[in-house]
Amino acid sequence: MKAGVKGVQDLEYEIGFTAGKNSSGHFQFVISENADIKKWEYVGLNINGSIVIGRIEDIVSKSDLMDESIDYESIKRYTENKINDSTNMSYVNVLGRLENDNLVQSREIITPGLKVYKLSSAILKKLFSFPDEESLYIGNLPDTGVPVSINIKGMRRHLAILAQTGAGKSHTASVIMEELLKKGASIIVLDPHADYVFMKKDRDGKIYSDNIDVFRTPLSTGRYSRDDIGIIKEFTIRFQDLTADDIKGIMGIKDNYTQMSPLIDDILKAMKGKKDLNDFMNTAEKLPQDDYRKIKGRLVFLEKIREIFSDYTTGIKDYLGPGKMSVLDLSGMDQYLANYFSFRILSEIYDSKISSEFKYPVFIFVEEAHNFVPPRVNSNIAGMIKKIAAEGRKFGIFLTVITQRPGKIDADVLSQCNSQIILRVTNPIDQNAILQSSENITESLMEDLPSLDTGEAIIVGEIVKMPVIIKVRDRETKPGGSDIDIISLLKEARDEVRKMNNPDEIKKKNKNLLGDF
């Protein structure tokens, strides 16, 4: 059944009539009996030729005959005699008025008795797509399957991917990385849990892209072995290339450590010519006893991490290039060493962008961002992330922060992210932090957060024309970082115990121990 009204190509068929008290921002309508419509779907009104679009926030079914006060016998009788006076009311949030396939603010008066239409897939497709060059296809509307893209231009003002653990953050980030790669983006990923180390391969284990490199420092214990991941590049540093600040950063000596900091300067001053780690250690030993004692613990630490020093410093030319994605696998590293390496990379990138040495846009993904930039912490890496959040877009550095603890990340960084992709969140403290972080997020959107399935996401902000709930598409690349398969590992453990207790096995073991004695 077609609408038979102006804009017929946009409005599919009638599903009810507006009723009661409505404003230009919200309306309610009585759903017709046969309408096939669900929460989160999109509806339209034709008001004097203007198409006003809204999203169903809630559907309530009510009955006067069978209200809360009814007794069991009565409801049984009504039901058996098929007496049913129930009405389904739908509550809609107005998203805007349609103008040239875009939404503009709607100020139309919504009177009772207006016909409400289901929006056609054709108009939904237009509303959730962008010109090809700007468009990153990341998922589909859950019920209609209409493809949904985000706009790469919206990423200029940074993006936050927020959700509780296991809701699909890394999956979503990987999908965005895949799409960005197709567009020739330069991508850097700080990856503390090795969630992205398999992206070089596709889901069948074949090479997905030659433009993805995984870097690991000799100190990363790594969540996966080198054999699992394939080619890994070493991220190393030549001691001679380090500045005094670098050395202090690696040793965890902050500017305000006034006892220790000048001692490093003294050692470097006393070192003549040669500047390798051995030379540094030997010179340190020649400090007056009292001074030496002050930094001894840090020197022991430096000795322990000796492996990161080699005769080559991994630099920006190794990890930054047009259309290239570099994943820094930080798994198994101390947080402050992870901070140091991350800071090194981000500051090199920042410098090369402000000097216009590297002209292409750089997209930086920070996983577990709450560990790098917690509130009220002034570490080098926190400072650098804040700087990129505040000024990066002017120089073409675009940030995506990913966290399961939105309440534990610097609020300024979060509020600089003008777009959010939010997956399931049930913790009220985190929900509240999300609500505070952006004006794009309304209380009614927040209500949906706990009920989202894995991989379902709310997208708001500059990357979309209007807020949308999607099912994130399948990945093209091989996933990493999925949960341990507890059931099959327990089965394996039981098999092992059974084998150990098997009399034949015990006999065999004893025979091996005792020989033919």
Ligand X SMILES: Nc1ncnc2c1ncn2[C@@H]1O[C@H](COP(=O)(O)OP(=O)(O)OP(=O)(O)O)[C@@H](O)[C@H]1O
Binding residues for ligand X restricted to 492-511, rule: CB under 6 A: none
Least distance to ligand X from the beta carbon of 405, Å?
Answer: 10
Least distance to ligand X from the beta carbon of 470, Å?
Answer: 9
Q: Which is nearer to ligand X, 79 or 482 (CB)?
A: 482
Considering only residues 248, 314, 472, 477, which one is a binding residue for ligand X as defined by CB under 6 A?
Answer: 472
The residue type at 112? P
Distance CA 51, CA 57 (A): 19
Considering only residues 156, 158, 169, 248, which one is a binding residue for ligand X as defined by CB under 6 A?
Answer: 169
Site string for ligand X, 192-211 (x = CB under 6 A): ---x----------------
- Is 455 among the residues that bind ligand X (CB under 6 A)? yes
- Tokens 């919504």 belong to 110
Distance CA 440, CA 446 (A): 11
Give the angle subtended at the CA of 405 by the CAs of 399 and 408, to the nearest 5°: 85
Considering only residues 97, 118, 156, 171, which one is a binding residue for ligand X as defined by CB under 6 A?
Answer: 171
- Is 165 among the residues that bind ligand X (CB under 6 A)? yes
58, containing H or E segment: strand 50-62
The one segment of 17-25, 38-46, 406-414, 472-480 that binds ligand X by CB under 6 A: 472-480
Q: Which is nearer to ligand X, 166 or 184 (CB)?
A: 166
Give the angle subtended at the CA of 155 by the CAs of 151 and 159, to the nearest 5°: 120
- Is 482 among the residues that bind ligand X (CB under 6 A)? yes
- Is 170 among the residues that bind ligand X (CB under 6 A)? yes
- Is 481 among the residues that bind ligand X (CB under 6 A)? yes
The one segment of 169-177, 258-266, 268-276, 426-434 that binds ligand X by CB under 6 A: 169-177
Least distance to ligand X from the beta carbon of 218, Å?
Answer: 25
The one segment of 233-241, 276-284, 477-485, 489-497 that binds ligand X by CB under 6 A: 477-485
Both tokens of 54, joined, read: 């809204």
Q: Answer whether 365's CB lies under 8 Å from 173's CB.
A: yes
Distance CA 244, CA 260 (A): 12
End-to-end CA separation in angstroms for the chain: 92
Q: Answer whether 199's CB lies under 8 Å from 325's CB.
A: yes
Site string for ligand X, 387-406 (x = CB under 6 A): -----------------x--
Q: Which is nearer to ligand X, 284 or 338 (CB)?
A: 338
Q: Which residue is nearest to ligand X (CB)?
A: 455
Least distance to ligand X from the beta carbon of 144, Å?
Answer: 17
Distance CA 329, CA 189 (A): 8
Least distance to ligand X from the beta carbon of 138, Å?
Answer: 9
> How many residues of this chain bind ligand X (CB under 6 A)?
17
Torsion of CA 415, 420, 425, 430, to 10 degrees: 0
Considering only residues 163, 242, 330, 345, which one is a binding residue for ligand X as defined by CB under 6 A?
Answer: 163
Least distance to ligand X from the beta carbon of 402, Å?
Answer: 8
Least distance to ligand X from the beta carbon of 219, Å?
Answer: 22
Q: Answer whether 193's CB lies under 8 Å from 304's CB.
A: no
Which SS3 state, helix, strand or coil, does residue 501 take?
helix
Least distance to ligand X from the beta carbon of 424, Å?
Answer: 9
SS3 content of the chain, % helix, strand, coil (to 5): 35, 25, 40
The residue type at 398? F
The one segment of 126-134, 161-169, 311-319, 321-329 that binds ligand X by CB under 6 A: 161-169
Q: Answer whether 407's CB lies under 8 Å from 429's CB.
A: yes
Q: Which is nearer to ligand X, 98 or 338 (CB)?
A: 338
Question: For helices 289-304 and 277-285, what crossing angle results, to 10°?
Answer: 150
Buried b or exposed e, range 305-315, using 16+ CB within 10 angstroms:
beebbeeebbe
Distance CA 491, CA 483 (A): 16
The one segment of 167-175, 265-273, 306-314, 406-414 that binds ligand X by CB under 6 A: 167-175
Least distance to ligand X from the beta carbon of 194, Å?
Answer: 10
At 144, give phi and psi (nearest 5°). -90, -15
The one segment of 214-222, 236-244, 317-325, 479-487 that binds ligand X by CB under 6 A: 479-487
The one segment of 25-33, 160-168, 324-332, 434-442 that binds ligand X by CB under 6 A: 160-168
The residue type at 445? L
Say how many CA atoms lie within 13 Å of 421 toward its Cβ.
32
Least distance to ligand X from the beta carbon of 430, Å?
Answer: 12
Q: Answer whether 6's CB lies under 8 Å from 105's CB.
A: no
Binding-site ranges for ligand X (CB under 6 A)? 163, 165-171, 195, 404, 454-455, 472, 474, 479, 481-482
